[in-house]
Amino acid sequence: RLLDDNDGLQLGGELRQVTILMADIRGFSALSQQLGPEQCVKLLNNYFAAMTEVVQRFRGTVDEFVGDGILVIFGAPLSDKDDCDRAIACAVAMQLAIKDVNARNRADNLPEIAMGIGLNTGDVVAGNVGSEIRSKYGVVGHNVNLTGRIESCTVGGQILASPATIAAASTQVLSGDKVTVSLKGMGDAVALTEILGVGMPYDLVLPQPVDEWQVSKDQIQ
């Protein structure tokens, strides 16, 4: 689902439990300085096109493209029981789709990219925000900001999820290392979970070295 400007579903605001997915290209700022402007936009558009296709497949709502970042919501404006599961599966599928993005980048003489994804689950305020001239359906609040902070902890190719997302998942999650970080607005140190794969009905696993894979398999939750 993609929302157009002036998608007037809710004029006021409402509290919604959602899973928020934020992705960006790691090191894009430095990358953009090495590229010509047309290459830079071509690279972004290869990436956005592929990611939008994946998000639609998992019925996420693309709320924003900001710079090289993508903000996707699962659970607003429409919610479903499997919002969190679809968000996790979408994150894995997005990482898998980077392979095709990089194949296209190579064909276009563009550098390869790596993406980081942060996942968080919780209440947000959803509604139409903006001015009379320009408004859009969007989400705001503490949990949106928190997702950005989680995403900023990722390295290329990584998915990190908050404890709330892991708790809300009903699908099997193949998890890797816990990454303990101290995040502004999240109190004490918090253990983020690295997500390596997701169980049925999605059945998606990130490629990884064989020895690491054996260790990870033992950690299936």
Residues that bind a second copy in the complex, under the rule CB under 8 A: 2, 4-5, 12-15, 28-30, 32-33, 36-42, 44-45, 48-49, 51-53, 62, 64-68, 125-136, 138, 140-142, 144-145, 185
Which residues lie closer than 8 Å to 23 by C-beta, 6 or more apart?
A: 51, 69, 70, 72, 91, 94, 115, 116, 117, 118, 151
Name the minimum Å distance from CB 197 to a second copy: 26
Question: Which lies closer to a second copy via its Cβ, residue 111 or residue 207?
Answer: 111
Question: What is the residue-wise DSSP string for 36-78?
Answer: -HHHHHHHHHHHHHHHHHHHHHTT-EEEEEETTEEEEEESSSS
Distance, in Å, from the CA atom of 159 to the CA atom of 118, rounded to the nearest integer, reads 6
Question: Which lies closer to a second copy via its Cβ, residue 8 or residue 130?
Answer: 130
Name the minimum Å distance from CB 83 to a second copy: 18
**3 state DSSP class of 85:** helix
Question: Which lies closer to a second copy via its Cβ, residue 81 or residue 134?
Answer: 134
Question: Which lies closer to a second copy via its Cβ, residue 120 or residue 216?
Answer: 120
Name the minimum Å distance from CB 97 to a second copy: 13
Question: Which lies closer to a second copy via its Cβ, residue 19 or residue 147?
Answer: 147
Name the minimum Å distance from CB 219 to a second copy: 33
Question: Count of CB atoms within 10 A of residue 55's CB?
Answer: 25
User: Chain centroid to CA 96: how far?
Assistant: 13
Name the minimum Å distance from CB 50 to a second copy: 8
Distance, in Å, from the CA atom of 61 to the CA atom of 145, rounded to the nearest integer, reads 17
